[in-house]
Structure formats: C-alpha cells, structure tokens
C-alpha cells in the first residue's frame, strides 16, 4: 500500500483498487501538529495533549459520522466501510485543493456550488459541517465524478453550533480560504460571496424546519 495523504486524524493509503483506507494517526503526531499551530491551536491543543480528551473527541466524531451514514446516501461520503470502529475504506477521490490550479474560475465555482448543496443536504438530515474546509475535506470521486466528503470528522448534530458558525462566517478563517492561492484572489472573493448568500440563518432555519416537518408526517 502506498501512502498518498495525511490529515490530522488519518493517514491515507491507496489500496490499488479504486479505494483507499484511512488509518488513524498516532497521538504523538497529532500533538506535534497542534503544537506547530501555536496560537491558532487554542482548545485543540489541550484536547490533543490530553489523551483522554483526544480519545473522547475522536470517538464522538466517529459516532456522529456513523449516524450521518444511516441517513445520507453513502456515495456522497465515498461509500465508506469500516474495517474496525475507527478506521475505514472509501472510494478514491481527487481532493478539491488539487483542482485549484488546473480549473478555470467557472469550472471551480461549479464544484463549489456542489459543496454548497452537499452542506445543505447535511442540514436536511439534522447535521452540519462546522469547518467549511471544502478544499481539504471534499474531493471528486474517481468512480462517479461527483463531489463527495472524503473527511467527515467535523460534523455536528447541534443546530445552535451550526448557527454560530454561520454568524461568525467561519469559512473566512479556515484553512481552505486562508491558504487559497493569492493569484486566484478574484475566485476567492466569488466563493466568499457565494457562501454569504447561501449559508444564512434563515436558510438554516428553513431547511431544519422542513426536516422536522417531515419527521412528524
């Protein structure tokens, strides 16, 4: 198996059959990454350094992910299959950040609009993406050509948490836009305007309300 990627919680290995396997990173590697973030680490520094806190958060995120899988079409998450409680296989995908330099503005915006639809699909089942790291946590499935979630460890079940993220325009401070290529600044501005238009409290309330209405029919 060839290692093809590395995130905060998982290392990614190519299985050579159109699938990848996500294997948990070590506690010490997560501590090193958070310490390297220094001032931006904040609460995550404590959680990473404290093994019990780190483990609790990790297990909670996996549990939420599995609840999402029960309600959402699995192909939107790359058809994941868990090999144990914490590690899983998934369809191989091209990460969105790898598309930034080889797609024109209109092509890339079409993919971002797909991300908006994916995020709202989560709202419609009572979950939300709290980090808006669309260039890192989303990719284009090599199997279907559709945008999917390749990382689903930052979902929340809390409407209040989602509302807070929207009010704070959290997408502006996350890695996807913070490290967006400077030479594509006009594209970055278009993405921000799109998010400001689509990710609003009234829209969140509308979609969450529709979900609750369906549950009682």
Q: What is the mean pLDDT of each run of 10 residues along the chain (217 residues)?
A: 86 95 85 66 53 67 88 95 90 96 95 98 95 96 96 91 97 94 96 98 89 45
Contact 48, 37 (CB under 8 A): no
| pLDDT at residue number 8 | 78
Output the furthest CA–CA distance in the chain (Å, rounded). 50
- DSSP character string of 104-117: -HHHHHHHHHHHHH
Query: What range defines the domain where residue 148 resides?
Result: 2-215
Q: How many domains does the chain have?
A: 1
What is the number of residues in the chain? 217
Task: Measure the CA–CA gap between 87 and 65, rounded to whole angstroms.
Answer: 12
| pLDDT at residue number 16 | 95
Contact 67, 157 (CB under 8 A): yes
| pLDDT at residue number 130 | 94
- 39-80 pLDDT tens trace: 555 555 555 455 556 667 777 888 888 899 999 999 999 999
In sequence order, the 6+-apart residues with CB closer than 8 A to the CB of 131 are 137, 154, 170, 174
Computed from CA positions of residues 91, 95, 96, 101, in that sequence, does the dihedral angle turn out positive or negative? negative
């Amino acid at each position: 198996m060839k290692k093809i990627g590395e995130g905060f919680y998982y290392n990614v290995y190519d299985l050579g059959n159109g699938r990848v396997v996500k294997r948990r990173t070590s506690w010490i590697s997560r501590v090193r990454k958070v310490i390297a973030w220094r001032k931006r680490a904040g609460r995550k520094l404590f959680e990473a350094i404290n093994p019990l806190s780190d483990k609790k958060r990790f297990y909670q995120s996996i549990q939420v992910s599995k609840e999402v899988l029960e309600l959402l079409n699995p192909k939107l998450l790359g058809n994941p299959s868990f090999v144990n409680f914490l590690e899983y296989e998934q369809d191989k995908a091209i990460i969105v950040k790898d598309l930034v330099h080889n797609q024109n503005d209109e092509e890339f915006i079409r993919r971002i609009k797909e991300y908006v639809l994916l995020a709202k699909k989560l709202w419609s089942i009572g979950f939300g993406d709290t980090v808006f790291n669309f260039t890192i946590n989303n990719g284009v499935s090599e199997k279907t050509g559709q945008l999917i979630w390749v990382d689903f460890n930052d979902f929340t079940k809390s409407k209040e948490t989602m509302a807070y993220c929207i009010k704070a325009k959290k997408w502006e401070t996350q890695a996807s836009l913070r490290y967006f290529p400077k030479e594509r600044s006009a594209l970055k501005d278009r993405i921000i305007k799109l998010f400001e238009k689509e990710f609003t409290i009234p829209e969140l309330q509308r979609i969450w309300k529709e979900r609750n209405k369906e549950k009682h029919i």
